Structure formats: structure tokens, C-alpha cells
Structure 1
Amino acid sequence: MSHLEGEATGWYMVGSNGMWHGGIHITSTTTPWCALSGKAASELLDFPVPYKGEQSVRCMADGEVVAYRICRDYLTVPWETGPLSVSGSFVLVRHYIQPGEKKENGLHFYTLYMHLAPYSAYVSSENETHWIVNDKLPVLRPEWTPDASAENRNKYRVTTIPKDSRIEWDATEASRSATGPKERRYGLVTFRGLSDKAKAKGTKTSLVEGQQYWILTDRDNLVPSSGGAARPSWWAHLLPPYAEPMQFDKVICPTPYPISAGDSIGHLGYFQVPKDGGYDSRYQVHIECLSADDSLPAFLKNPEKVGESTPLYLKCPSGLPLFSKDLHTNTMVSAGKVTQGEAILKLSQVKTELDAQKQEYWFLPYANGYVPKSNKSAEALSQYDLEKLGFTTTVDEAPSFDHLDGTTSPKGVVRSILNRLLDASSADTRLTHRAVPHNYQRLLNRIDSSVSPYSSQEYLSAIHNPSYRDVNNKMIVKHPSEWYHKKDTSIWQSFLNKLTSDAPEWREYCEDYLDKMVWMQDASKLKLGSSLWHMHPVVFLNAMKANLCACNRDITLDELKKFVSGVNSNVLTSYLTELNAGFKRFGINKCREKAHFLAQVLHESGNFRFTKEINGEHASYAPWYGRGLIQITLKANYQKYGSYIQEDVTSSDAARNKLVALPHSVLSAFWYFEVSRKLASIAEEDDFIKITAVINGGFNGYNDRLTIFNHAVIALGANHLNKKSLDDAFIFEQSSVYQNKIYSLAWGLWHDPSSNRSGTDKNREEALKGYKRAKELIVASPFPVSTSHKKIYGIEYINVLGFVNHRIEALQ
């Protein structure tokens, strides 16, 4: 949200011109890397240094494309200084969320991305057969038979194709295209060597020029060799071999097809904004979140009480009696004060403490006091308790889109906003804001008195008060849509008629603009209607983050900060780039699998602090001591990693130390996790115990890894993929280690109260579970006689059964 505060226009609900504005703007002012210069002559004059579209606007949630308009070029609208360019391209994505079991309690909603760069801004790839690989990608042998099996895919994987490799591929040949695991698109491509750019970086590859291989071809993985920004990923379904062709310059409702969160939507379009005597220029996208679902108000109430047993928030009203802790007696005593003002806290950030009677208390940092959990006035809330979290609805059957024209007394949505802001400011306990409620009440009184004329700017300043922005952003308004109503409808007439006498050139511009932009009536099969619910797209979707989790998209810096503490933002950013690249490269796409990987690497590296084994130079196995985030150790592993990446990491200290720095510190961890130890499939099964055992060989640091994992699950919205966790813990009997005699022995050893092994809580019952299971497995399948003197955890194989029997007897 802080990023959006840099935008001077495009405010939610009421724009800077006093008109209805149902969405937000993202422009080249704050996000130049998403802008893409096209071929309009005026672009070169306005922006002599072209924007290259380094990054795309991304889809905000999993859904399906249900409507689009792809304009071949920018449209022009007449203005007194000459025609102005504007983009009419858009895509509409439909989403569905169902937190509970009943379909009628779910919600259908849409995200609209308007004013995207037109077709002409992209280098044409029609009939394109020569491409540049846009990222490192897994390579499969040509004899691979595409299917949905990840095991099948891994069997045929040979290496990776470097970024900036040149390939030849004709997407129109059905025999050279296929759908693989997780509905990803693959192509049988011909490797044509490395580009000059790749060669200049010293990139090496074992791929053979002229040889065919299967690689991923969807999303942004390939760009035409003639150059240019990556085209929107959703366009791929409108090109061969798909049956429905792309159509231009009109509204199309295709057969709905899927699009994932994080997929590229497009780039910011060029937009010339008229002003008296001239114009301003920028690149922008207008984003809305809409719903035609009549059940939306009920949805906000969380009718099935979903998440009630796993709340994420604590809502504290004003007037809660506070307690303080007597450190000498460990008792809670009345602090003689109460909470001031309402607060909503994240439960993950609220500490819980016990008093001498083992009663639980929450510590409220904003109030510097404790509240007993037994006080039901402090309410634990699910993320789906949206109404209790502050989301409100209002309906405005507005007679005009112009809400602040300076003469007609503002009613409807403006009055609703001011009433909400009056309530919020009246509950504000800050001394510096004591006069604010009086100002809101004064403006409401002026509305009641129909004062005219009035200052539109005065109302705008009050509405967009930064201190209460969250109140506005949680308002959901049913309002006529500007994309539905044409220029001759009554809702536009009062605005346009006023322009006839005051500014005829503005009327001509507005009418022509509306003719070119309005689109909803041409998408009638969607049955959207003329009036829709409008939600702030960022705030509403963020509230849905368990369903809009970190699956199939990059992890954000804000999310990483939630479970990685004490690390500089610049350091986190550098690691985050490589982590997100690794997740894509190795096919770790689900949010919970990412949490499993991160829990292990963060523990092993001490939150990215250590990429080299402490005192490793003095180890008996030096120079092959631990390096990288997962501490790759021993010569054989270095050799295997070097063979995999086709680089020298063995010949010298300098070569080995590549694993200490980016990108290899991260890449080696992914290699170890996915290629060497095949842990991605175990992560998909949510087997935290097995992953830890394989990474560590035992359970050193188990509790720390688990704490990191649980925090990562919350930050990445990964609770919905839970398969084995019970109250933030994992059950030994449900893990595949229960079928492994060595890891069962380890479970017993690490939990044994008499053991000096650290990392887990000492627990007699858990130790007995491990030892008893190890005994069962050893009796059923004894250790080989030929290796009877080999040791595991310091115990010779020949002595393990006797040791286990001794510990069982002692613990019982």
C-alpha cells in the first residue's frame, strides 16, 4: 500500500477531479519498470528515453480470463491542441472464493486491468520460430512422453538451458507442443546455441547445438529473438494451437480459460491526459476489483465461521481492563487503566503469558498491558471475519458520476465516506487529532444544509485524509459502473450538459473518450449489470491471502520480512530475487512447499548470515566443508553439483567458494533439496519430519526449523494446504520416517531425556515411540551382517537393538 501512496491520481472511490473512481491507478511515476513504450509518434516526443517493460503487471489471483479487448494500436481522442493517445486495451479475470463447505457462501468477483499497452507495443511473434530463453529452465530428453506425472518428468531431466540461449520452435506444430505436470506448457525445441549476451557473461552449457529438447514455453519463458518485452501470458491461449483466435479492437468474451496469480497481464499503457491549453503524459494501468454477487454482504459476515479455530487477528475494543505482571509473585494485578480506542492486532505478533494460576493473558503492546484470554470482549477473529475486521458496504444509486461538482450538494457515497470517517476520527485517541471529528461533522452539516457553492477540494482533502486511509479502503460500494454507461445515459447528462456551456472542448473530448472506452454492454453474456460492488483491489485481495497465497507467484519482500528477522532489507532483496528464480526453475510452485524449503535454509544459514561452515577449514573433511545455504559438504556432493550446473566448483578454493556467494549459495540449496535429495515431493506431502531428517541426518535444530516453518506458513497464506500439521506440530506416526528404522531411532534419541542431543523438547513418550518403532523395524529387517561394525549416531549396527531395548526398559 505504501507504494500506491506515491500516486498523485487514481484514488479509490472519489478521484482528484471529484468524479466516481471505482479502482486505483499504477503509473510510470511509481512503477517505471512496468511501462512499455510503443510506436506512437507522440511517445518519442513525451518520453525520448523509451520504457522497455522490464517487468509485467501481474495477475493478482488465480482465476480465468472471461473478457478482453486487445487494441492493435493506441486510440486517439480529439483535443484543442491535437488528438491525444489513450489505450483501450483491457482484460477481465473472474475469480471464485469459497472459504467454507457451502457453495452458496462463496463469492464470485472480478479483477479488471484497463489501459494496458496495445498489441503494437510488442514485437510481433506471429509465425515466430526463433526465440530467446528468458530464464533458466529445466531440460528434458526428446524421448520424454509428456503427462501429468512429476516422476516421469524428473526421470528424463538432463540439465538446464541457460538464460539468453537461442532456440528454434514453431508453436503451430501440434507435435512439438504438450501439456505437462501442473498444466504447464512444454515445447520440443531445437537448441541453436548461446546468444552473444550469454557468451559475454561466460555462460557455459552441455546442450548440443541442433539437438531437440523439451522445455517450458508458457508464461514469460520465451521472447522473440528480434527483441522486445515479454508478451502477456494470457495471449498464448489466443494463438495456435488453441482454437479461438485473437481478435482485435472489439470486446471479446472467449471460452473462459485459466490464469494464475503472478502470470503476466501486460504493461502500463501510454496515456495523454488533457488539461487546459495542453496535456500531461504518463503510462498507467487502471485496476478494479468488482462483484455482481448479491451475496457479498453476507460473505463479509463469514456465515460458516471458517477459521474460527485458527484465528489470525485479535480485535480489542476500547475500555478493556488492563493488568500488569508482578515479577516477584508471577501474578497479574489490575493496572488501574483500560484500553483507549479500538485496535486490531495480528495474533502472530501478540505474546501470550501465563500467571501463577496458569491462566493465559495476551500482552497488548499498544496499551502496555495484559488482557486475560477469558475476557470475551477481546475477540479472536478469522481472516474471513471481514465485517468485524472493518469492511463495510454501502449502496449508492448515484444520479451522476460527478460527486463533487461544486454546486450540487454531495450525497450518496460522499456522505457515507464522511460518516465513516467521523466515526473513526471520534474514536481516535491521539491528542493531535482531537479537532478532526469537528471538521467532518461540519462538512456533514453543510451537506444537510445544501450549502452551494462549495469547495470540492475541501471535501477531497477530508475524504483522502492519510490518517484514516484504511477506513476508506475497507469500504465496499455498490455503484453504477463507468464502463457500463454510455454517453447518452442520464447518469452522464448532468455532467456533460454543464460542459456544453462552460467548456465545450471538454464535452467533445469526454464524449469521444466514453465512446471508445465503455465496454460492459458488449460483454452482456457475463450478466454483470449496470451497478456493481467495488472493492479496493489491493486491500480486499490482501484480506483473502489464504486463497490468494504464494502459490504460483513470487514471494514478496513484505512476506519474507514477516518470518526473517534481523536482516537488512537490501540483503533480503538480493536473496529474494534468487529464491524466486529458484522456485520457478525447480518447479516448487505451491506456497506450503516454499515454506518447507525456506524453513530448512533459514535454519541452516542462520537467517542468511552463514554460507560457510564455521571453522570448516579445520574440519577433517576440509576443503570439502559446508558451503551454501544448506551447507553442501563432501567432495562427492561438490562434484555432483558442479556436473549439474556445468561449472567448475572443485578445482580450487576460489571454485569451491562460488557456493558461498549468490547465486550459488541459493542455487546449491535448491539442487540439494530437489535434485540430490528429491525433497520437493516430500514437501508436497507436508512431511516436515522427514524433510528435517533428510537435511540434517537427525533432528538438530528441529524446534527452530518448525518455528520458522509455522511463521512462513502464516506469511505465505499456506494453511489451506495443510496435510499433516496439528496445532503447529507434526506427528511422528504420520510421517514416512515411521517406516525408516534409522530415523525412528533418531526420533527416540533426540527426544530421550537422558540424551545430550539438542534441537527437540525432551519427552519420554515421544522417545519411547521412536525406540519402539525402531525395534519393530530392526527385528523385521535387521542391519546387514556385512556392515555390522558400521556406526549410526555413534552406535555400531550390531549394538543398536541392544541399545534400543535398554532405553525402552529404562524409560518404561
Structure 2
Amino acid sequence: MTATPSNPTGTPPLKKLNFAFPFRKASEDQSKPSKDFTDAQEFHGLLRKEIHGAYPVSREWLWHGGIHVTDTGAGSSLDLKHGVRCMADGAIVAWRLNKTYLVDDLPAEGEVPAFQAQYSSGFALVRHVMEFPADNSLTFHSLYMHLQDFASYELDESQLHPAYWTKRFRVASGANDKPNPSASGTSAPPEHTGLRVSASKSTGRIIGILPRGAQFSLIKQEGNWGQIDAVHASALVPPRVGGFVESDAAVGGWINLERNGDTHVVTPFTPEDALDRIVVPVVPFPIKAGDFIGHIGRFDSVTDRNAARMVHLEVFAGSEIEPFIEESRSWLVENAAKPAKWKQLGLSAAPTILRIDTGTKLFASPNQEGRDAPTTGVIQSYSLAELAKGAESAVLETNRGSDGKRMRWWKVESADARRREISGWIREGNFAGGRVSREFAQKWVDFEVLAAPHDTAHTIFASAQHWADYARGADVPAAGGIDKLSPLMHAVFRQLYETGDGNQAANDLAVASRQKWTALRASHLIVRHESEWANSEKWLQLITAIEKSKGATATLRAEWDRIQKLVWWEEVSAQLPGLSDPNVFHIHPIAMIGNFQTSCSCTGQLLSEEDLQQIAQGTPRAKIQEYVSALNTAFNDYKFDTCISRGHFLAQILHESGGLNFTLESNGRGELSYDPWRGRGLIQITFKSNYEEYQLYTGEDVTSNQLAMEKLEQAPHALLSAAWFYAIKAKLIEASDADDFIWITRVINGGFNGYDHRLQYFNRSIQILGLQGCLKLNRNGSYRFEESKAYREKRASFAWGLWNDPGLTKRGIAEKTKSEAIKGYARYLELDDKVGKATDKKGDPKDKGWYGIGRQVSVRHYCETRLTEISNRSRGQHD
């Protein structure tokens, strides 16, 4: 496992930059949720389905700085319903949201009917900062172009709205606060009913009432409270009838946004003045890798005249990328093999990439070349984490190799010099068959930076005229030959095709995206080129050249009109320092994610005493030493293959055992009704049936006598029995990989006793084991009930209400809130309604007596009562 210990030099560790693929993988079974991609090769394969929009050359012999994902191409295998996701941690610095899609009206041309081509000019631009090593940073941006229009969200209310959109609130009909009567007893008129504005949260002084229909925006939101930035419609009403309040008195005040029972007191909305314009926020909107950005939008082709949905994805950086990569590689030359240097940066010292060079023989079996061993004709890189998932494809050497090391052999796939698929075995280090190395992502393995003059009209040719000659099939010698390309595209061509005369260079570049190995090589080219989204006039050169050769058409006019409405660079850069030069270095989004995406696999890695000690703070060193070996055995035997599953398991056993100190259920000196089968182990195995199940699974006698039972109180079985219960009996590995802390705690405890303490252990594991890139549901150290599997279970929902109820004293969650209690109780009722309000044979409620509410007390009645009591509490009271 990866440690992130305190830094002996005193220099803070680098801030980890997390990456995520822009979509999740659609499930073949529609009833099951989509899954995260973990293999960049798989995503690259989907991109080969796309007819247009490949990187770095389009099928029309034009420069293309990003990739397209369409609903009929790669999107047919992606989870489009849940939208496009942010590709790395960062902040949204600009966006544009179309009210409705823009339209190109194309008249009929000959037999081709008239067509209204809809398209989106909506986009989101995200700024990211990467650092490696210390004091060497790179600012880069990711672009999400052609996002869905606002009208489409209005039509489908089930769709999630992007969180960064400009948001205002309208006081709704559920708001029932009123000004106090006047001194003479005069009541406020109905039109003054609305929502109180307080000087502070909780029971602060009432500033006034925002009446129903009033509109306001917030400076910030903290839980159910929002601080008012401005009031946009209506006027603030004095807190007492006949009183006075300044018109701007609400600014800076606090308003409670919590629902009033089942009705909303405010409704959020996007104002008209935030639509069809570029928004550059004063304070960029923070966003994490994997967060929702938007949905793919319409982008109908004016050439083919067909409806289509797509998104253009792009990553680019300024000129600092070259020295940044050089500095990163230089640091690795000096320090890659020095674990202490990695610890100073707070990073893992383990390589993440396996690189197989060209000319490497793939052996018939580990250490056996066999006859006619095929030889690689391409450079192939694998994620070591992905390789580790195929246990049948890995063999650890029994004897040390000529380099004195015992290493793994992997079965891999590659291609020969003629691009024919081959497969065989390689050693994960240089061997008799060729050159194989384990590499660090920070080396930017096989990425090549290219910068040279290019056609200002964005063709791959030296001029727009050369492009027009080739496009119309002019009788020009070697019209598509390498000599007609721009210097930049000449360099690109030779990166992809090292040999050959280049007579068909233009065509070869246009079809490169269809060929697996050529497309993979192209994805590792970092190419400097003017952005497509700047300087619309450059496209006029190309359109003029086309018109000279083919004549003016409605299609060309529509293309020119569309281009002028798509560009955004000049307007954004005028408000955003650091984005002035549109001549940027473009990076293939999937190649970058594949290179840097954090591996969550811990297969083959050992938990150290140092790591465990830092997580289990306060646990005696002797206990750490007693259990660390058994922990590593359990991780292997019970398939805790991901780092995050290990972190969740540690959090639970450390709480359950009081930091590894207690392995026997105590009842003072008294006996228990189920003795001698009382709880034993770090997650206490209780009752005869569970003892017998563990014995049957492991073959270890833990039932025949007292001494046999007491094995569960000591290492290794105190730990191994806990791992058995967690992974086999409770089946919590999947929930751990999904980062579902709430559900794990519910299963282990039955409710949420010790919730905060367990969470402290897990959040500490995140830091010590470097789990930041593996988190899915953890947000700043906390979890949301509605995102957990617990939200789909009645008992868990009721428990969530109980443990969060400020009016009760359940121990485990210290910061109890009305909103979370209501969420749990209301969810129980919703689930109970779905099953028809379950009753027993007598017709009485079936759910009774849960969690000590009283043996005959109906859970449903209890929820309804508590919801009423909570809702009747003063709305001004602290939540």
C-alpha cells in the first residue's frame, strides 16, 4: 500500500490531481447501474466508432484538436443518461448555456430537401493545475463543447442540472412566515406571507420577510441556510406590520431553504439573463474529477443534413508544458528509485505503467521462448493495475532472474510490424526477449511534443489552396503527398508512419483514427496549433478557397455563420488572465487520463507497520506488529484487491475492536444468553451458526471446545474471521469498491453506532494510504445518504432518521440535523408505500419495534409522528 507519511523535510506533500473518464460505461443490463472505465484502451476502442472528429486530423483533412463522442458512435456504449463528467479536479472558469439550440435554415438544393440544422454553441471550460515535482506546475484546461440546451432540461425534469449554472431562487407557496402584528394588533395582509430573512443562522434577529414570488441569489449555501447576495424581484417586507426596513437590508442576511413538511419554500431557477451569453464567474466554480458537467447536445451536420447529438472534448495547455515535462523527466532520472524522495512529495514510489518496446519477442510461456516467437512492431503500454485484474495472465518467478530479481511474467497482446495481432508472455523488466520497463506516469511515457508552422486555415496542408486541390481531385502532381503538407503535419505524419514514401500522406492521416495502433500513437502526440475556437476569420480563407473551386452554396454560408457563433476564445480571454494566446498545445483527453488516472489496485502491495500505526493512532506498537502480517494475508486471501476496500475494512475493524485492543464481547462478569458463542474477533463473530460457517469455510476448528473457540480472540484468526465476515458473509467488497461507507456501517453495526468514529478512521486512511483518487462518494470527508445503497432499504432509512434526529439521543452521529432526520423518516415511508404498507397476518403493521422504539410500536407510525414533531418546531431554530 502507498503511504503518505509526514514529510521529514517539512515541505507539504503535493496536492493530488485526480482524473476521471468523461463518461461511465453503459451496463448491458438496463436494470443495473453504469460502471466507471478503468482501462483507457477500452475507451480508445470506442472512439474508433466515430466517423468524424478524431485527433489530430479529421476525415476532411483538417486539423482537429479534440475528440468527438456522438450518440450513434462511441456514445452507443456509454452512459449518456447521466451525462458528461469532468475529466480532472479543477474549477470551471467559463461557460455558455443556450436557451434553445441555434438553427441553420438550409434551403432545398436540387433533390435534397430543405433542412433545419440545430446545433449547440454551449460549452464549459475547466482550469486544472498539476504539480510535479515540488515547485514545478502546469496549468491546463479541458473543454466540453456542444452541451445540451436549457430547453431540453425544461422538457425532461428528471435530468440533473449542472451545479455551476447561474442560479437564483424564488420564494415558493410553501413559505408561510408572516410579519408580526402591529402594536395595535393589525395582522399582515396575505401578500406579505413569505420567508424570514435573519441576521444570522439559527435564532438570529429577523430582518424582514421576502414575500412569495420574490427572487434572490446567494453568496453561499451552508447546509439548509443560504446567505443572500441580492434580491432581484419584489421588496423586503418589515418584520412587523407598520414597521420600516431598508430596501437592501436583506443583502448579507440568512434564509432557511429547508422544506416545510412536504412542500418547498423556495424553487431554484436559471434566470433569462444567464442564457445565450458567455459567463466568466468572478470566483471560478470548484469541480472534481467525475463530477457532472452537462449532457451531449445537438450538432446536426449541414453537409449530410441529418440530426445528431455529440460533444467535443479537448485538453490544451500553454507553452509551459514543454519545460514542465522536461523537469518532470529530469527529476525521475535522479530520484525514481529513491522511495524517500517520493514520500517527501506524498506520492507512491510504485510505477504504474508497463512499457513494451518494439522488437520485443513474446514468449510462448514464462521464461520459455518457444518456436517462432512473434516480435512486436509497436510500442505498447499497459496499466499495471489493469494487468493485475487478470490473475490467469500473471506468473511470479520462483527463481531470481539474471538481474537478481524475482519478477512477474505477464501475458499480453500487441501487434507485429505489419500490425497483425500477436500475443505472448513478457517479463516486467528487460529480459532475453527484449526491452520491457515499469514506468511512472509523471514521465509522460511516449508522449511527444510537436511544434512547427501550420496552415492558418486549419487544413493539414501547407495552404488552403493545396487543400482545395486535393479535395476536388484537381489534376495536380502528388496532390495528397507529404510534400504538400504543412511542416507541422509533416512531423505528425512521420510520427505515425516512420517509413514509406508518403505519396498518400493526406489520406493516411485522415484514416489514421480507424487503425488501432496508429490511433494509439497519435493519441500521444502533444501538438501546438491555434485553437479552433479563436479567430473565426481564419476559416474564411478555407471557405473562400472552396468557393473558388466549387462555387458558393447555402451549405458553405451556413458553415460560415455557424463558425462565427461557435467561437469563444476572444471573449473569454479578455476576462480570464492566462488565456491570451490561442496557439496552444493540444493533448488527447483519453491518453492523458489513461496516463495519470490513479490506480486503485493494491494487488501485490503490502500494508506496512508504519502505515497501520498512523491510521490506528493510539494503538500500542505491539498490537500493530501482532496484526499487520495477518492483515496482509487477509487482503490477499479474501480479495481485498483495491486500496479503497482495504481502507474501509480497516476503518470498521479498528472501531469494532477499539483500535485492535478488544476481541471478546464483554458483559462485565455476567453470562450471555448465547454463551459460549459470544462475539469473538475484530468484527465479533457471534452465535453458533456463524462459528460453524467460518469453520466450514476455512477448515479451522473453532467449535469443538473452549480452546478452539478462543482462536478467534487471537491473531491470526481474530483478523481472518473479521475478513471472512466482511468479504464472504456480509459481501461488502463491492460496497467498499463503490465507496459506500454508509451502507458498510449499516451492515456491520446494524445501525449507525460509532458512525463518526468509523469515519475518522476512514478519512485518516485516505490520507495515509493515498486513496484520494479512489473515492467515489466521499465528499470532503462526508457522505450523502441519498447516494448510498442504504437509501434503498427500509431499515437503513429508518435508522438514518433515528441517528440524525436532534430530538433523540442515539449515539454515533454527533451533529444531528432535522434535514437528515426528515430525509431518513420520509424515505422509510416512501419505501413502505412502494411495498403496500406491509402488514402481518393480523393486518397489523409488520415493521415494529426496530432499534428500541418499543416492541409493539409501529415503525411507520413512529416516522409519521417524528416528522410532524420536527416540522412543528420553529423554523428559526438552529438545524
The TM-score with structure 1 as length reference comes to 0.50
The residue number in structure 2 matching 1:364 is 409
Asked whether 1:521 is paired with 2:570, we answer yes
Q: d(CA) in 2 for partners of 1:299 and 1:359?
A: 32
The residue number in structure 2 matching 1:485 is 535
The structure 1 residue matched to 2:591, chosen from 530, 539, 542, is: 539
Asked whether 1:120 is paired with 2:151, we answer yes
Shift of 1:392: 0.9
- Indicate conservation of the 8 Å contact 1:65/1:256, yes or no: no
- Indicate conservation of the 8 Å contact 2:543/2:560, yes or no: no
- Indicate conservation of the 8 Å contact 2:297/2:311, yes or no: yes
The residue number in structure 2 matching 1:683 is 762
- Indicate conservation of the 8 Å contact 1:67/1:92, yes or no: yes
The residue number in structure 2 matching 1:415 is 490
- Indicate conservation of the 8 Å contact 2:512/2:519, yes or no: no
Aligned-partner SS, 2:495:
helix
Residues 466, 495 of structure 1: alpha-carbon distance in 2 compared, 3 angstrom cutoff: farther
Shift of 1:21: 1.2
Residue identity opposite 2:451 in structure 1: V
Per-residue deviation, residues 146-173 of structure 1 (Å, max 9, x unmatched)? 89xxxxxxxxxxxxxxxxxxxx999948
The residue number in structure 2 matching 1:441 is 500
Pairing 1:9-20 to 2, within 5 Å after superposition? 9-20=52-63
Q: d(CA) in 2 for partners of 1:363 and 1:370?
A: 6
Per-residue deviation, residues 420-471 of structure 1 (Å, max 9, x unmatched)? 2224xxxxxxxxxxxxxxxx614x1455xxxxxxxx6555224531233211
- Indicate conservation of the 8 Å contact 2:452/2:487, yes or no: yes
- Indicate conservation of the 8 Å contact 1:106/1:299, yes or no: no
Asked whether 1:287 is paired with 2:313, we answer yes
The residue number in structure 1 matching 2:119 is 86
Shift of 1:94: 0.6
Q: d(CA) in 2 for partners of 1:659 and 1:372?
A: 40
Residue identity opposite 2:101 in structure 1: Y
The residue number in structure 2 matching 1:64 is 91
- Indicate conservation of the 8 Å contact 2:171/2:214, yes or no: yes
Pairing 1:30-179 to 2, within 5 Å after superposition? 30-31=74-75, 54-80=81-107, 81-102=114-135, 105-123=136-154, 127-129=169-171, 172=216, 177-178=221-222
Pairing 1:236-251 to 2, within 5 Å after superposition? 247-251=274-278
Shift of 1:316: 4.3
The residue number in structure 2 matching 1:796 is none
Aligned-partner SS, 1:109:
strand
Residue identity opposite 2:352 in structure 1: L
Pairing 1:363-512 to 2, within 5 Å after superposition? 363-366=408-411, 368=425, 370=427, 378-386=436-444, 389-399=445-455, 400-403=457-460, 405=467, 406=470, 407=479, 409-423=484-498, 441-442=500-501, 444-445=502-503, 457=507, 459-462=509-512, 464-487=514-537, 489=538, 492-505=540-553, 506-512=555-561
- Indicate conservation of the 8 Å contact 1:625/1:634, yes or no: yes
The residue number in structure 2 matching 1:203 is none
- Indicate conservation of the 8 Å contact 1:10/1:24, yes or no: yes
Aligned-partner SS, 2:133:
coil
Shift of 1:524: 2.6
Q: d(CA) in 1 for partners of 2:306 and 2:122?
A: 20
Aligned-partner SS, 1:13:
coil
Aligned-partner SS, 1:541:
helix
Aligned-partner SS, 1:484:
coil
- Indicate conservation of the 8 Å contact 1:593/1:683, yes or no: no
Shift of 1:336: 11
Aligned-partner SS, 1:273:
coil
Residue identity opposite 2:75 in structure 1: T
- Indicate conservation of the 8 Å contact 1:169/1:187, yes or no: no
Asked whether 1:597 is paired with 2:648, we answer yes
Residues 561, 28 of structure 1: alpha-carbon distance in 2 compared, 3 angstrom cutoff: farther
Structure 2 gaps, min length 5: 1-42, 108-113, 156-166, 175-197, 203-211, 228-253, 340-348, 389-393, 412-423, 462-466, 471-478, 606-641, 654-671, 689-728, 781-879
Aligned-partner SS, 1:272:
coil
Q: d(CA) in 1 for partners of 2:173 and 2:448?
A: 50
Higher relative contact order at CA 8 Å, sep ≥6: structure 1 or structure 2?
2
- Indicate conservation of the 8 Å contact 2:651/2:759, yes or no: no
Q: d(CA) in 2 for partners of 1:282 and 1:333?
A: 52
Shift of 1:715: 6.8
Shift of 1:685: 1.5
Asked whether 1:312 is paired with 2:352, we answer yes
Q: Which sits farther off after the overlay, 374-383 or 468-477? A: 374-383
- Indicate conservation of the 8 Å contact 1:297/1:393, yes or no: no
Shift of 1:8: 2.7
Q: d(CA) in 1 for partners of 2:487 and 2:364?
A: 46
Aligned-partner SS, 1:15:
coil
Asked whether 1:25 is paired with 2:68, we answer yes
Structure 1 gaps, min length 5: 36-52, 133-142, 148-167, 195-208, 213-221, 225-230, 240-244, 327-331, 424-439, 448-455, 550-558, 565-590, 603-618, 636-657, 690-708, 722-812
Shift of 1:495: 4.2
Residue identity opposite 1:383 in structure 2: A
Residues 292, 599 of structure 1: alpha-carbon distance in 2 compared, 3 angstrom cutoff: same
Q: d(CA) in 2 for partners of 1:295 and 1:542?
A: 18
Q: d(CA) in 1 for partners of 2:146 and 2:369?
A: 59
Q: d(CA) in 2 for partners of 1:352 and 1:287?
A: 40
Aligned-partner SS, 2:406:
strand
Q: d(CA) in 2 for partners of 1:191 and 1:563?
A: 50
Per-residue deviation, residues 590-629 of structure 1 (Å, max 9, x unmatched)? x976761267899xxxxxxxxxxxxxxxx9969x999xxx
The TM-score with structure 2 as length reference comes to 0.47
Shift of 1:478: 0.4
Q: d(CA) in 2 for partners of 1:99 and 1:593?
A: 24
Shift of 1:289: 0.4
Shift of 1:62: 1.3
Residues 509, 631 of structure 1: alpha-carbon distance in 2 compared, 3 angstrom cutoff: farther
More strand by share: 1
Shift of 1:493: 0.6
The residue number in structure 2 matching 1:642 is none
Shift of 1:77: 2.6
The structure 1 residue matched to 2:299, chosen from 262, 271, 288, is: 271
Aligned-partner SS, 2:87:
coil
Residue identity opposite 2:760 in structure 1: S
- Indicate conservation of the 8 Å contact 1:34/1:56, yes or no: no
Residue identity opposite 2:581 in structure 1: G
Residues 393, 369 of structure 1: alpha-carbon distance in 2 compared, 3 angstrom cutoff: closer
- Indicate conservation of the 8 Å contact 2:170/2:267, yes or no: no
- Indicate conservation of the 8 Å contact 1:78/1:512, yes or no: no
The residue number in structure 2 matching 1:640 is none
Q: d(CA) in 2 for partners of 1:378 and 1:61?
A: 30
Pairing 1:630-645 to 2, within 5 Å after superposition? none
Q: d(CA) in 1 for partners of 2:583 and 2:115?
A: 34
